[in-house]
A and B are shown apart, each in its own frame.
Chain A
Amino acid sequence: MKKFLSLVIILVFAMAFVTGCGGESDKAGGSGEVEIKIGIEEPLSGAQAPLGNAECNAIKMAVEMINEKGGVMGKYPISYVTADTQSDPSIGSSEAERLITTKGVPVLFGSYSSAIAASVSEVAERNKVVLWEMSGAADDLLTKGYQWSFRNEAMASSWGAESVNFILANDAAIQEKLGKSAKELKIAIIHEDGPYGTAVAEGNAATAQKNGMNVVINEAYSAKAVDLSSIIMKLKAAQPDVLLITSYVNDGILFNRQAKELGFKVPVLITHSGGHSVQAFVDGVGDDANFLLTVDPVPCNPNTAGYSEENVELFKEFDQRWTEKYGSHPYHHVEMRQFAQTMLFFNQIAPAAIEKSGAFTAESVAEAIRNIKVDAKDSLMGTAVEFSTPEKPFVDPWLGNSHVGQNIKARAFINQYFDKELSCVWPKEFANKEAVLFLPASQPLAGTN
């Protein structure tokens, strides 16, 4: 019996390890002398696995599409090795070490979470390997002066600044509805207490205070909390005009439910990506998702007038392939994001590196990233691309921190749920729908306390 049991347990563990997105692509059968190999580290198991796997699959599909056309510059096929960070920063760092030392990858793609990105970036820095960060948004990834980490998307604090700027831009509507100017509004900020939520909230608070707005509550909570009633009671007592919230999925759903139960009302509610921009949130709260505004690093279902025809076609092709393979459309804020940044990397950065030095090495890639300049219309991200360098760091206007390796042209966008789907509503040139600033009566949280 004991032997049988141990066998069952071993089998179960073995099966658990072979599931997920893991694996290694076929060795590149490259026609030339340039070998292009990257490491993809994503949380393929653990709490962050749903999005980690989605991101990993999107990167792999982008690579597949490029390889079908011969690879980078049509002649150098890409190979990759994936690693599962198990939603754990310490495993993220040991896996990064493994990819670098035993697999010899010069570039790492990842990392989904800011906490994992932070630990991976240290390993990348020590080993002088490029980290091409595609979703870890917390500011502190790039404020340490590291020279080998790069982020193409807008940093988290700028998302926080964006939501406040959006409110200020709607001054006339606010005046009309609430009888006071945007600057006189009472702002409440609540956020999960990790690096991501904290960075967004800092952007919120700094921009609000800079504009003389009244921040009545600025409070953190643990994303693992099973009860948010205390924070909701405080919100009820403070009676804010605007609630700015940054959360992950679990706490996002919990907040929505408990706020309803405790009868919390607020005229304007803006969320910040993370847990609010994912399908699991919509599944959890149903119709209550409608009309929630969320700040994201990408415009969802945007007006594509500003994109080149070629890029619009690329998106269409990706959408079609993804839908065929996985049975549902890819999300702009999850899969499309990763697809766009993978394409940017292999269509614009890798060729520049190879042309300049004749090789795909960490040095040549880092050099290419620092020198790259891409127009907005040629970037799948919707914004132009230009990175800050150690010599010319980017100093953000809201917190005054200096960032090295940040795409200084990146920006945050405001999307809104209509019929449980996100559509870009801000800025105007990307918007395909008119923003509904005040929660309509159909929303259970609409109104004032």
Chain B
Amino acid sequence: METFLQIIASGILLGGIYALISVGLNLIFGVIKIVNLAHGDFLMVGMYLTFFLFTLYKINPYTATLLVFPILLVVGLVIFRLIIKPLLGKSETEVNTILASAGLGYVLQNLALMLWKSDFRAIETNLTGKSINIGGMMLSSGRLWAFIICVVVALVLYYLLMYTKLGAQVRAVSQDTDAATLMGINVNMIYSLTFAVGIGLVGLAGCIIMPIFNVYPTVGTYFNTLAFVIVVLGGLGSFTGALVGGLIIGLVETFAGVMASAELAQVFSLLLFLIILFVKPEGILGKAARV
């Protein structure tokens, strides 16, 4: 029983990390309808920023979010203006944005390789290796914080999207761009804002996972695939879907790891992914829950 509870706890905490990483990707897809293949690489940028803020200026990764989030927000704005915007509204937008973001991902990886070499870099904070014992369940402090922050981010985003005027505009643009334009909404502004927030959020995820994982130039590649699986599983564009998708993948991987083998854990989560694609291609939360 204790093992069972531990599996659930570990799975949920892992799912929280996955969800946190995927939220930004889903936001961008849901509103602008572009697939950002450089998503994982922005996570890497966020992790490096956190690493250097910690090692050079002793800034705690959680405090670093206050700096990294706005920095990546600005980076997101600039990237949107320079790379994404020129491609929108033209023929083959989907293909072109995929290619452009993939190219951008390579540029970021190689820049990181050139600037910081491919060394694995890790930080040790006062939470590293620590955990809280609740009734025999060991909850990793770093992962618990990541989960809490993920839930807070989700709630704040939900509130902003559902209960503010700006949120209503974002939803309007995501549902029907033409109608939104006719209503006088500045679609471009909403697009650039959404893209910037999406990138800012993945940067924030980079801060939160830095006490848990090592950073190296290609760290984003793994998380990229995972983030895509999660948002497609939860429902592309369905913002709450990222949270559900993340938790499901986290739980499946942990259960499969214990019941079958660690090597097969990913096989099970990808199998589930395939099944969902066949049975409910729009994802678990599909259209109904779309914001």
Residues in chain A within 8 A of chain B (CB atoms): 1-2, 5, 9, 12-13, 15-16, 19, 45-50, 193, 219-222, 224-231, 233-234, 237, 249-250, 253-254, 256-258, 260-263, 280, 283-286, 288, 444
Contacts and interface: CB of A to CB of B under 8 A. Distances in A.
B271 to A, nearest CB: 16
Contacts of B122: 253, 283-285
Interface stretch (B24-32, B67-75, B152-160, B258-266): B258-266
A262 B10 CA distance: 9
Interface string B117-144: 1111110100011110100001011110
Contact of B257 (A5, A16, A231, A253): A231
Interface of B: 3, 6-7, 10, 14, 17, 82-83, 86, 103, 107, 110-111, 113-114, 117-122, 124, 128-131, 133, 138, 140-143, 212-214, 216, 218, 222-223, 226, 253-258, 261-263, 265-266
Given A226-B213, A230-B258, A253-B120, A444 B263 contact: no
Given A13-B107, A220-B262, A226-B222, 17 more contacts: A12-B110, A12-B111, A16-B110, A45-B118, A47-B218, A49-B113, A221-B261, A222-B263, A229-B14, A230-B10, A230-B257, A258-B140, A261-B141, A261-B142, A280-B119, A280-B120, A286-B124
B155 to A, nearest CB: 25
Contact of A230 (B7, B83, B140): B7
A285 B124 CA distance: 8
Given A230-B262, A263-B131, A444-B129, A45 B113 contact: yes
A34 B119 CA distance: 40
Central interface residue in A50, A254, A262, by most chain B CB within 10 Å? A262
A224 B216 CA distance: 12
Contacts of B86: 1-2
A60 to B, nearest CB: 18
B233 to A, nearest CB: 17
A250 B214 contact: yes
Nearest to A258: B140
Contact of A227 (B130, B254, B261): B254
A15 B114 contact: yes
10 contacts: A12-B107, A49-B117, A49-B118, A50-B120, A230-B10, A230-B254, A230-B262, A253-B120, A283-B122, A288-B129
Contacts of B138: 261-263
B131 A19 contact: no
A233 B7 contact: yes
A254 B219 CA distance: 14
A262 B134 CA distance: 12
A112 to B, nearest CB: 12
Central interface residue in A50, A257, A444, by most chain B CB within 10 Å? A257
A219 B262 contact: yes
Contacts of B253: 227, 230
B107 A261 contact: no
A220 B119 CA distance: 24
A13 B213 contact: no
- The 3 A-B residue pairs whose C-beta atoms are closest, nearest first, are A230-B257, A260-B129, A221-B262
A184 to B, nearest CB: 25
Contact of B6 (A15, A233, A284): A233
A225 B129 contact: no
Contacts of B120: 50, 249-250, 253, 280, 284
A233 B10 contact: yes
A217 to B, nearest CB: 10
B257 to A, nearest CB: 2
Contacts of B256: 230
A193 B263 contact: yes
B14 A227 contact: yes
A247 to B, nearest CB: 12
Nearest to A16: B110
Nearest to A288: B129
Given A16-B110, A226-B222, A230-B257, A50 B118 contact: yes
A249 B122 CA distance: 11
Nearest to B257: A230
Contacts of B128: 257
A279 to B, nearest CB: 9
B129 A257 contact: yes
Contacts of B10: 227, 229-230, 233, 262
B105 to A, nearest CB: 12
Contact of A219 (B17, B103, B117, B263): B263
A258 B103 CA distance: 35
A157 B138 CA distance: 35
A61 B113 CA distance: 24
Nearest to B86: A2
Contacts of A48: 118
B25 to A, nearest CB: 16
Nearest to B139: A261
Contacts of B119: 50, 280
A256 to B, nearest CB: 8
Contacts of B254: 227, 229-230
A231 B262 contact: yes
Contacts of B14: 227, 229
Contacts of B124: 284-286
Given A19-B114, A262-B138, A284 B214 contact: yes
A1 B258 contact: no
A237 B4 CA distance: 12
A257 B127 CA distance: 10
A5 B82 contact: yes
A288 B213 CA distance: 16
Nearest to A19: B114
Contact of B117 (A50, A193, A230, A231): A50
A254 B110 contact: no
A19 B115 CA distance: 10
Contacts of B130: 260-261
B107 A9 contact: yes
B206 to A, nearest CB: 14
A283 B17 CA distance: 24
Contacts of B216: 47, 250
B214 A220 contact: no
